């Protein structure tokens, strides 16, 4: 219909979706069908989700029968939700490395804050988990700059600025006395600030051009 010769072994034209007529010549398959792989992953995600729901229902029944006053099954639900999100977004997702790392850290931090709240709100999530999450963020940026994208390591400056925003949130929590052990958080904030400053100074013109490109200055 569209006049294009299709060399791959397929029944439909990828441009106009019309059925192709065979010319009698057998051709080998040049490229794997990515849709088959995608469907396998989708089935795996759904099977894992179904198994997670069944598992949590069993845990909830056991929890309610044995100790209805303290429902630890809701903490287990957080672990199950985190595992499903981790599978869909990071392991089987198609996002870039940094995006997967960011989502893993943020969702893990949210899980730990909720776990702290459900277990008595002792404050360890904000005092230690929050700064550790930002520190892991910084370490991930350093590793990606060194080993993954060495030629364009200035591109991670936006991720560094996002980490600085989290540091700003930690400073606010310190001011509000929600973070009662500020020393660890302040050290992490200093590490994040020096990382951004070092990238800006060492990167020099390329770093400034990256910021101009990102913010359309």
Helix axes 157-175, 130-143, angle to 10 degrees: 170
Are residue 109 and residue 191 in the same domain, yes or no? yes
Are residue 135 and residue 173 in the same domain, yes or no? yes
Round the average pLDDT of the chain to a whole number and report it: 81
Domain final residue, candidates 79, 94, 109: 94
| Confidence class for position 4, pLDDT limits 50, 70, 90 | low
- Shortest CA distance to 114 belongs to which of 105, 99, 103, 126? 126
Segments forming the whole domain that contains residue 115: 101-217
**Does residue 122 have a pLDDT over 70?**
yes
68 vs 124, more confident: 124
Contact 129, 109 (CB under 8 A): yes
Are residue 142 and residue 206 in the same domain, yes or no? yes
The number of distinct structural domains making up the chain is 3
Are residue 126 and residue 208 in the same domain, yes or no? yes
Are residue 207 and residue 111 in the same domain, yes or no? yes
Are residue 88 and residue 111 in the same domain, yes or no? no
Model's pTM, two decimal places? Answer: 0.71
Are residue 182 and residue 143 in the same domain, yes or no? yes
Are residue 139 and residue 184 in the same domain, yes or no? yes
Are residue 191 and residue 154 in the same domain, yes or no? yes
**What are 20-51's pLDDT values in tens digits?**
666 655 555 555 555 555 566 678 788 888 99
Are residue 21 and residue 118 in the same domain, yes or no? no
Are residue 20 and residue 59 in the same domain, yes or no? no
Q: Summarize the confidence of residues 198-210 as an average pLDDT.
A: 82
HEC letters along 40-99: HHHHHHHHHHHHHHHHHHHHHHHHHHHCCCCCCHHHHHHHHHHHHHHHHHHHCCCCCHHH
Are residue 79 and residue 177 in the same domain, yes or no? no
């Amino acid at each position: 219909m569209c006049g294009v010769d299709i060399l791959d072994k397929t029944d439909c034209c990828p441009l106009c979706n019309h059925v192709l007529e065979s010319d009698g010549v057998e051709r080998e398959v040049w490229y794997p069908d990515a849709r088959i792989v995608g469907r396998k992953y989708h089935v795996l995600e759904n099977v894992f989700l179904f198994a997670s729901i069944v598992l949590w229902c069993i845990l909830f029944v056991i929890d309610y029968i044995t100790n209805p006053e303290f429902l630890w099954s809701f903490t287990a639900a957080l672990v199950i939700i985190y595992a499903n999100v981790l599978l869909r977004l990071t392991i089987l997702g198609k996002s870039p490395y940094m995006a997967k790392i960011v989502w893993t850290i943020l969702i893990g931090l949210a899980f730990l804050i909720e776990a702290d709240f459900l277990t008595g709100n002792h404050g360890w999530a904000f005092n230690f988990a929050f700064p550790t999450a930002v520190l892991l963020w910084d370490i991930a940026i350093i590793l990606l700059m060194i080993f993954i994208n060495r030629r364009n390591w200035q591109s991670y400056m936006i991720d560094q600025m996002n980490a600085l925003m989290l540091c700003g949130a930690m400073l606010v929590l310190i001011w509000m006395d929600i973070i009662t052990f500020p020393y660890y958080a302040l050290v992490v904030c200093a590490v994040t600030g020096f990382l951004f400053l070092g990238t800006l100074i060492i990167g020099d013109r390329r770093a400034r051009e990256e910021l101009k490109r990102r913010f359309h200055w």
